[in-house]
């Protein structure tokens, strides 16, 4: 049996669990989210281009310019999120068709339909990828794997913001068609490399394909020998012998409703905290505050800062943990929103250049703390929390809640900006505080635990916020000790007397 690793590993010690196949899986599967970030960043920029507004806007006789009214911004920004629900099947081909529709669009309806289809790829990223990553990644690397989804989203935003920054001055349609058309590249790469992705050993075992499971596990474990791999396979078979796919009603039965509720909450919290404002309407807001010539540059800087932040989570999420990251990041997000609201409360004629700069800084720092916490770690919590029997269904319903929440925030933000401007920071500041209070009570700490150990944690009877203090038995220990065949082992809770 492989030796049990220490509970608190340094970053370099965790890196020893990597091998070329794990690196490939982590990056390739996360690439399914790249086009989502690229599209969000692209539309956030192109809607500020005059050439785009000339093609899809409404003529304003006072300014003698074509502009996008608030209702059209809302429709074109929010409705594409419906497409996220379409993404689990054939995501690569769907995304290619969506990008082609947008590039050739001559009406706002065609452009929006293209975005809806393109967003279907994100459905796979949210539903399928976290499950696959959770099953294939070693427990010591699961947090980093989960955070890579958000890394790809922000990388897409960074690249798209650089592209729109470069094409912003073009007077022809090419100014917005070039960044939109580049969305055709990533789906092609994903489809070409897809045959190299191995099936999850856990999934293969559920189909009684033991030999295939052994072969694939060898690809995923760097230092394990032949006997160690076979022992791990037998351990997983023993620990999951009674696991079969459950029905929809099991999502909310006594055994699973807490786990389902946590998954739904973190995806709801990821979107309700106000990320749609800087990511989708940042350029427009900067322009409305008198930064017309700097708006696209600010957008680039904001995305680069966010990319740096999500990269930092690779070093922190498996060491610091999930709960501290979410609570700290969310609190600082709330602080940035209150600063923005405070600057917005100052009358326009009294707002100094320093005040306007603070406004811009608060938006960028909000994006930094969001990318450091809620943006990536929500996917990690969902992949860990879902019960094995209903994990696909849990992720699907969490995705639907995420889509609906994003739709509401994306649709309402232009109206809020139009009505109260930067004072919307007060709205999202309060929401962030409320989300942090709920997080304190309902989000568990699951770092370093295998999926089998997570099942034990939720059956321990310990309060959610103390689950990280529960002692568990690894799958190989259960198998080796032969304790009560095919029954869930009892766990010993250090914190039981404290809760």
Tell me: the pLDDT tens digits for 410-439? 888 888 888 888 899 999 999 999 999 999
Q: Which of 2-11, 199-208, 362-371 has the highest mean pLDDT?
A: 362-371
Express each pLDDT in 434-462 by its tens digit. 999 999 999 998 887 777 788 888 887 78
Query: Which of 283-287, 301-305, 490-494 shows the lowest per-residue confidence on average (mean pLDDT)?
Result: 490-494
Reference 464, options 488, 436, 445; nearest CA is 445
Does residue 2 form part of some domain?
no
Per-residue pLDDT, 118: 59
92 φ, ψ to 5°? -65, -50
- Residue 331 clears pLDDT 80, i.e. is over it: yes
CATH of the domain at 271: 1.20.1250.20
Does residue 67 form part of some domain?
yes
Domain hosting 234: range is 202-243
Same domain, yes or no: 358 and 479:
no
Does residue 51 form part of some domain?
yes
Query: Which of 1-5, 149-153, 171-175 shows the lowest per-residue confidence on average (mean pLDDT)?
Result: 1-5
Same domain, yes or no: 457 and 345:
no
Q: Which residue has the higher pLDDT, 268 or 182?
A: 268
Does residue 207 form part of some domain?
yes
Same domain, yes or no: 254 and 224:
no
Same domain, yes or no: 438 and 461:
no
Per-residue pLDDT, 203: 76
- Residue 392 clears pLDDT 60, i.e. is over it: yes
- Residue 122 clears pLDDT 80, i.e. is over it: no
Polymer length of the chain: 499
- Residue 3 clears pLDDT 70, i.e. is over it: no
Same domain, yes or no: 163 and 219:
no
Does residue 174 form part of some domain?
yes
Per-residue pLDDT, 58: 74
Domain count, the chain: 3
Average pLDDT, integer, range 390-395: 81
- Residue 78 clears pLDDT 80, i.e. is over it: no
Average pLDDT, whole number, for the chain? 76
Same domain, yes or no: 258 and 396:
yes
Same domain, yes or no: 139 and 230:
no
Same domain, yes or no: 94 and 219:
no
Contact 330, 436 (CB under 8 A): yes
Does residue 498 form part of some domain?
no
- Residue 483 clears pLDDT 50, i.e. is over it: no
Same domain, yes or no: 34 and 133:
yes
Average pLDDT, integer, range 187-208: 80
pTM over 0.75: no
Express each pLDDT in 149-171 by its tens digit. 888 888 888 888 888 887 777 77
Same domain, yes or no: 225 and 348:
no
- Residue 485 clears pLDDT 50, i.e. is over it: no
Does residue 262 form part of some domain?
yes
Same domain, yes or no: 159 and 284:
yes
Same domain, yes or no: 33 and 123:
yes
């Amino acid at each position: 049996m492989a030796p049990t690793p220490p509970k608190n590993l340094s970053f370099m010690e965790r890196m020893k669990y990597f091998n070329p196949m794990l690196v490939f899986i982590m990056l390739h599967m996360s690439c399914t989210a790249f086009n989502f970030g690229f599209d969000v960043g692209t539309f956030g920029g192109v809607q500020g281009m005059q050439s785009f507004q000339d093609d899809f806007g409404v003529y304003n006789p006072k300014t003698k310019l074509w502009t996008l009214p608030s209702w059209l911004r809302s429709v074109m920004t929010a409705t594409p999120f419906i497409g996220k629900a379409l993404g689990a099947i054939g995501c690569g081909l769907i995304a290619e068709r969506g990008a082609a529709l947008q590039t050739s669009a001559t009406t706002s309806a065609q452009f929006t339909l293209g975005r809806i289809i393109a967003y279907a790829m994100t459905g796979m990223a949210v539903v399928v990828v976290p499950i696959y990553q959770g099953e294939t990644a070693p427990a010591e690397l699961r947090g980093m794997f989960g955070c890579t989804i958000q890394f790809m989203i922000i990388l897409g935003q960074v690249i798209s913001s650089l592209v729109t920054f470069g094409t912003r001055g073009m007077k022809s349609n090419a100014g917005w068609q070039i960044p939109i058309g580049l969305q055709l590249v990533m789906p092609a790469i994903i489809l070409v490399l897809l045959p190299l992705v191995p099936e999850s050993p856990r999934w293969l075992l559920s189909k009684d394909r033991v030999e295939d499971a052994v072969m694939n596990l060898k690809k995923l474990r760097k230092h394990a020998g032949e006997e160690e791999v076979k022992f791990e396979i037998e351990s997983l078979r023993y620990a999951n012998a009674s696991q079969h796919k459950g029905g929809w009603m099991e999502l909310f039965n006594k055994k699973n409703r807490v786990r389902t509720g946590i998954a739904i909450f973190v995806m709801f919290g990821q979107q309700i905290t106000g990320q749609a404002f800087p990511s989708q309407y940042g350029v427009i807001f900067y322009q409305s505050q008198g930064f017309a010539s700097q708006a696209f540059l600010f957008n680039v800087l904001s995305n680069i800062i966010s990319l740096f932040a999500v990269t930092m989570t690779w070093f922190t999420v498996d060491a610091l943990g999930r709960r501290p990251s979410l609570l700290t990041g969310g609190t600082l997000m709330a602080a940035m929103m209150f600063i923005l609201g405070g600057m917005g409360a100052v009358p326009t004629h009294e707002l100094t250049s320093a005040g306007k700069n603070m406004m811009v800084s608060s938006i960028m720092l909000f994006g930094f703390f969001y990318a450091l916490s809620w943006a990536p770690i929500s996917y990690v919590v969902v992949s860990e929390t879902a019960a094995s029997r209903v994990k696909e269904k849990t992720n699907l319903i969490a995705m639907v809640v995420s889509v609906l929440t994003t739709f509401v925030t994306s649709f309402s933000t232009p109206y809020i900006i139009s009505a109260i401007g930067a004072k919307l920071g007060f709205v999202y500041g309060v929401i962030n505080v409320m989300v942090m209070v709920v997080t304190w009570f309902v989000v568990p700490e699951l770092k370093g635990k295998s999926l089998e150990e997570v099942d034990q944690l939720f059956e321990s009877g310990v309060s959610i916020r103390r689950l990280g203090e529960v002692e568990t038995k690894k799958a190989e220990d259960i198998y080796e000790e032969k304790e009560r065949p095919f029954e869930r082992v009892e766990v010993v809770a250090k914190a039981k007397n404290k809760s």
